[in-house]
Amino acid sequence: MGGLGIGNRGSHDLRWMLPEADVQFVAACDPQKARREAVKKIVDTHYGNTDFKLYSDTREFLAERADINALLVTTGDRWHALASILAMRAGKDVYSEKPSCMTIAEGQAVVETAKRYRRIYQTGTQRLSEGNFTFCNEMLRLGRLGKVHTVRAHIAPWDAAEMRHDWLAAEPMPPKSEVDWDAWLGPCPWRPYNSQYTRGGWRGFYDFHTSCIGEWGAHTFAQCQVGMGAANTSPVEYKYVKNESGDGMVTRFANGIEMILERDMDKRYWRGSCGVRYEGTEGWVSAADSYSQPDVSSPTMLDDFRKIVYDYQTHTQRPMSHVRDFFDCVKSRRQTVANPVVMHRSMTTVHAANICMWLKRDLKFDPVKEEFMNDAEANRLRSRAMRDPWII
């Protein structure tokens, strides 16, 4: 394996993957020297040698390292789709952090590239491989909740859907050997260098981010859509709400199920981050991070918790480890649990919800044609211009 843009979140993923006995990290690429060297220290310490090689240019890295089978892509959001596409074109399988595309068009391109080059791809929605969330999904799928009419999905309780369109004040440009600013920006519009961006200060800016909706919705929308059997589609209606975040927005799928976006500041539906809740005629279940077990409308629902998770693992042959699922699929060439279609369709929901908030009106969407109905302005926002040479 190799890595692209392994920073704070990427270091977590790296440490998650390193103990796997059948995985060897051999190289990484990053436009920031300090980040490159930090990754090398982690890997060399783990293996007890100094073999790990560093690169600063993505194109050189992909061209030179034909020996690498798969890449961990943990850049900032702006690079996720492009890096994944370039890697798959170079014959690499990809584990990409979320949110894995900046636009609907980028998501389509990831799906098409994975299909054309027969690559294995996993988006980092790791809760699809965790017991509590799997139990909730299985309760829905098995009909234990009766007829499900409403699912609720957590969006980040900070920032806004309407992002900033300005940029930070210019600072003196560092040497290219320290920070390759052109490569750091990648496909985004040219902006003056400011060190705050390279320390995570890009969040909340339209150029770099997918808003509070994408921050957690990339996780929770995927969870909900997989649970309700809608992993290969997206909602057909989006109802505008007059607030800054999209909190309370109702989206409706063609089967009639409503998915409601919730900040849940009063902890009405869950007590942790990235929560989901499924409500049916026979009861409800919910889960969020750091739960010892899901919340349920009736304690008896938990009587066969272990059996339901075990049965899921048996009939799907999926491990309760997101990275292990990826590595197993790299070997077997089977589709991952969070494959390109799951990523693209749930991220389409993110982007459509954002567009609804930006335009401040209800929208209707055709998930077959992947276009908004009778709304040219909304359809123009399905893609963004990409800056040469960082283009798909």
Residues 229 and 306 in one domain: yes
Q: Do the domain assignments include residue 27?
A: yes
Residues 88 and 30 in one domain: yes
Q: Do the domain assignments include residue 94?
A: yes
| Mean pLDDT (whole number) for 288-300 | 97
Residues 221-253 have pLDDT tens digits of 999 999 999 999 999 999 999 999 999 999 999
Residues 182 and 44 in one domain: no
Buried residues in 342-362 as b, exposed as e (16+ CB within 10 A): bbbbbbbbbbbbbbbbbbeee
Residue 188: the pLDDT is: 96
Residue 32: the pLDDT is: 97
Residues of the chain with pLDDT > 70, as a percent, come to: 100
| Mean pLDDT (whole number) for 214-223 | 98
Q: Do the domain assignments include residue 92?
A: yes
* DSSP characters over 297-347: SSGGGGTTHHHHHHHHHHHH---S-HHHHHHHHHHH-PPPTT-HHHHHHHH
- Band the pLDDT of 285: cuts 50, 70, 90: very high
CB atoms within 10 A of CB 156: 21
- Band the pLDDT of 150: cuts 50, 70, 90: very high
Domain of 23: which CATH number? 3.40.50.720
- Band the pLDDT of 100: cuts 50, 70, 90: very high
Residues 137 and 83 in one domain: no
Domain of 250: which CATH number? 3.30.360
Do the beta carbons of residue 22 and residue 48 sit within 8 Å?
no
Residues 141 and 251 in one domain: yes
Q: How far apart are CA 135 and CA 285, in angstroms?
A: 9
Residues 159-198 have pLDDT tens digits of 999 999 999 999 999 999 999 999 999 999 999 999 999 9
Residues 150 and 255 in one domain: yes
Q: Do the domain assignments include residue 276?
A: yes
Report which residue type is found at 149: H
- The tokens for 297 are 């409308």
Last residue of one domain, picked from the residues 144, 174, 206: 206
Taking the alpha carbons at both ends of the chain, their separation in whole angstroms is 23
| Mean pLDDT (whole number) for 34-43 | 97
Residues 216 and 360 in one domain: yes
Residues 201 and 252 in one domain: no
Q: Do the domain assignments include residue 363?
A: yes
Residues 51 and 177 in one domain: no
Mean pLDDT of all residues belonging to the chain: 97
Residue 214: the pLDDT is: 98
Report which residue type is found at 65: R
Residues 148 and 262 in one domain: yes
What's the domain count of the chain? 3
Residues 79 and 116 in one domain: yes
Do the beta carbons of residue 193 and residue 316 sit within 8 Å?
no
Q: Which domain, by its residues, includes 172?
A: 166-206
Q: Do the domain assignments include residue 333?
A: no
Residues of the chain with pLDDT > 90, as a percent, come to: 99
Q: Do the domain assignments include residue 345?
A: no
Residues 136 and 255 in one domain: yes
Q: Do the domain assignments include residue 327?
A: no
